[in-house]
Amino acid sequence: QILAQSGNLLDMFEKQTLLQNNLFPHLLISKIQQKDTASSLAKTTTQIRISGSGSRCINGIYKVDGEHEQAKSFFKLGTFEGQTTKFRIRLHEMEDSHHWYIYISASDLRGTDRSDVDFYSSLKTNRSDLPPRAGWDVIDNGEHPPPTLFFQSF
């Protein structure tokens, strides 16, 4: 609680300093513009291009596939272990956090009793309903380097 109170005092001090130096309106406008840009990007993005992944099978164009857990979901058809399957980018809710995953759902793998095939994950740290461009963790079946995502609107 003491730490929280000191944080509030610091916030008040920072706000007062910003107001005295006439910087607060500029920073506030900048924050609003960033939020509007992220919101606009989320609304207009119809596909994601993944490139640079060490797991080359996940590179390619992913199209919007509806929503999952209140965020856009994306997919592409590709080949994994000799079979055509759906690769997905989706948000999944864990006990106390949300993670984005690039993976193949077990239900999309015909003729196997495998669980999901996970390649990369990223903790959701913002309010956007789009996955992050970079900063993905390599997990399970993923290979270094992790991918970079590019948002596209058509």
Mean predicted lDDT score pLDDT of the chain: 81
Neighbours of 58 (CB within 10 A): 25
What's the token pair of residue 80?
A: 């994994």
Which backbone phi and psi does 68 adopt, to 5 degrees? -140, 120
Amino acid symbol at 135 = G
Q: Residue 27's pLDDT band (boundaries 50, 70, 90)?
A: very low
Which backbone phi and psi does 31 adopt, to 5 degrees? -65, -40
Kindly state the DSSP code that residue 30 receives in the 8-state scheme: H
What local confidence, expressed as pLDDT, does residue 125 receive?
Answer: 84
Task: Spell out the residues 6+ positions from residue 127 whose beta carbon is closer than 8 angstroms to its own.
Answer: 38
The pTM of this model reads 0.73
Q: Are 88 and 71 in contact (CB under 8 A)?
A: no
Query: Who wins on pLDDT, 8 or 76?
Result: 76
pLDDT per position as a tens digit, 35-45:
444 566 777 89
